[in-house]
Structure 1
Amino acid sequence: MSFLDSSKMWIDTIWSILTAEPLLTIFLVVFFGGSVLLALIVNMIKQYRLKKSGILEVDKMTGKNFEEYLQVLFKSRGYHVKLTPTTGDYGADLILTSKGEKIVVQAKRYKNNVGIKAVQEVVSARSHFSADKCWVITNSYFTNPAKELAGSNSVELINRDQLLSWMLKMNKQ
Structure 2
Amino acid sequence: MDDSLWLLIIIGCSFALFIGWRFEKAERKEYLEQLKVQLELEERLSKAGIQDIDIMDGIEFEQYLVVIFKKLGILARKTKASSDFGADLILEGKERVVIQVKRYQKKVGIRAVQEVNSARDYYRAHEAWVITNNFFTTSAIKLAESTNVKLIDRYGLVDLILNSNYTSVEKEVR
State the TM bucket, normalised to the shorter chain: 0.5 to 0.7
- Identify the match of residue 127 of structure 2 among 117, 127, 133: 133
Q: Please report how far the alpha carbon of residue 53 of structure 1 lies from its aligned counterpart in structure 2 after TM superposition.
A: 7.1
What is the match of residue 31 of structure 2? none
Please point out which of 109, 112, 116 is paired with 2:106: 112
Partner of 2:7: none
Of 132, 149, 159, 1:155 maps to 149
Deviations 1:100-140 (A, max 9, x none): 20000000000100000000000000000000000000000
1:64 paired residue number = 59
CA RMSD after TM alignment: 1.3
Counterparts of 1:78 and 1:171, CA distance in 2 = 12
Q: Distance in 2 between matches of 1:152 and 1:67?
A: 26
| Partner Cα separation in structure 2 for residue 136 and residue 143 of structure 1 | 13
Whether the 8 Å contact between 2:48 and 2:162 is mirrored in structure 1 is no
| Structure 2 CA distance for partners of 1:90 and 1:107, relative to 1, 3 Å | same
Q: Show the counterpart of 2:137.
A: 143
Instruction: Could you tell me which runs of 5 or more consecutive residues in structure 2 were left unpaired when the two chains were aligned.
Output: 1-46, 170-174
Question: What TM-score do you get using the length of structure 2 for normalisation?
Answer: 0.67
Amino acid in structure 2 at the alignment position of 1:133: E
SS at structure 2 position matched to 1:112:
coil
1:81 aligns with 2:76: yes
- CA distance in 2 between counterparts of 1:168 and 1:147 reads 24
Q: Rg larger in 1 or in 2?
A: 2
Give the % identical residues.
Answer: 48
Q: Secondary structure at the match of 2:121?
A: helix
Letter in 1 for 2:61: F
What's 1:94 paired with?
Answer: 89
Runs of 4+ in 1 over 6 A off after TM superposition: none
- The alignment's TM-score, normalised by the length of structure 1, stands at 0.68
**How much has 1:166 moved relative to structure 2?**
1.4
Code of the aligned partner of 2:133: N
Distance in 2 between the 1:136 and 1:153 partners? 12
Q: In the alignment, residue 144 of structure 2 is paired with which amino acid?
A: A
Greater RCO between the two (CA within 8 Å, min separation 6)?
2
